[in-house]
Amino acid sequence: MDVRAKHPVGLLLALLLGACLLTGCGGGPHAGDGHARSLQQRQQEGRARQVADAWRGSASAAAWSEGYYPMADAVRIPRSGWRGKADEQAYERENFALRTDLPTASAGHGKVVWKSGGTLSRPLWGARKAYRSFARGDSEGPRLTVTGVRLGETTITTSRGTATVPAWLFTLEGYDTPLERVAAVPSQLPAPPITQAGPGSAGGLERLARLAGIAGDGRSLTVRATHGACDDGPVVKAVETDESVVLYASVAGARSGPCTAALLEESVGVELREPLAGRILLDAFTGRPVPYGESDGPSPSWT
């Protein structure tokens, strides 16, 4: 009996399977996915380098180097910390009681003085606007009581290093040191020298939400990045030059099929080869500096 004549298809499949086991079959879904990911990564890095090149020596970079851009929280709690959980909860919920009169006169202008040298005159927030930036709560529960306010000074980290800036100092009942709120208004963000990346033009590049913190040595950053409910989370990498650090964000392990439309936000750490120092921190997607703070939060965002 001639088995080959009766089962030619089965024998062909068996031979193909044996060849795959011996040599491996390319072109499968995993190999294709790997090639696609590699292509996307090259596109993302390429866009980041384009942004770095556009900012290098530009008028936008010059304007940035001369401006005042805070890179830390504009509100500082009393130096002793909160007395207990109730006061901490009141602050988080922005629940305050005002037991004093706030100055109504215009605060005018004040001077930003950098530790490394250089000064800049900036308009100041009024006391009422400063108070309303952190005292917006109206919920049940404990409250912090403001018993006095005066214009003083504090220090803050900026894009040009540490600076001494005018600040409103709010006296709180039961505390020896005040709650500080930076009064100096940030400089206007310069127009970027490159347009935002178009949809699908940069290999799945995502916009960064904001900068959340810079380590004391300047070698690591924490940023907030967004992702969906059906993936493995955000990935953030950096392209470093002498003048800038360009961050490019993407999403790992995105899965097809039904998924909720939820947009999630997550903290991601980024390690740098060299300290950030005076280099400008840029978002590859927007082509703009990565903002610090939430747009509706008490800390200044200059986007």
- Do 73 and 172 lie in one domain? The reply is yes
pLDDT the model gives residue 251: 83
Task: Give residue 101's domain range.
Answer: 68-182
| 53 and 95 housed in the same domain | no
Quick one: pLDDT at residue 256? 65
Number of structural domains in the chain: 2
Q: Are residues 136 and 194 in the same domain?
A: no
Q: Same structural domain for residues 145 and 206?
A: no
CA distances to 19, 241, 289 from 280, rounded to whole Å, are: 54, 10, 7
Last residue of a domain, one of 182, 210, 230: 182
Q: Enter the tokens of residue 288.
A: 């703009």
pTM of the predicted structure, to 2 decimals: 0.79
* Whether residue 199 sits in one domain with residue 178: no
Q: Quick one: 141 and 216 in the same domain?
A: no
Give the pairing of strands 161-172 and 109-114: antiparallel
Show which of 142, 163, 182 is a domain's final residue.
Answer: 182
For residue 268, is it within any domain?
A: yes
Residue 224 domain flag: yes
d(CA 99, CA 62): 45
Q: How far apart are CA 86 and CA 173, in angstroms?
A: 14
State whether 84 and 221 are in the same domain.
no
The per-residue pLDDT for 261 is 67
Q: List per-residue pLDDT tens for the chain, 303 residues long.
A: 443 444 444 444 444 444 444 434 444 444 456 666 678 888 899 999 999 999 999 999 999 999 999 988 999 999 999 999 999 999 999 999 999 999 998 889 999 999 999 999 999 999 999 999 999 998 899 999 999 999 999 999 999 999 999 999 999 999 999 999 999 999 999 999 999 998 766 667 888 999 998 998 999 999 998 876 677 788 999 999 999 999 999 888 666 666 776 777 889 999 999 999 889 999 999 999 998 876 666 666 664
> Do 117 and 60 share a domain, yes or no?
no
For the chain, the first-to-last Cα distance in angstroms comes to 81
Q: Quick check: is 15 in a domain?
A: no
Do 174 and 89 belong together in one domain? Answer: yes
Which amino acid is residue 293, in one-letter code?
G
Q: Among residues 182, 199, 217, which one ends one of the domains?
A: 182
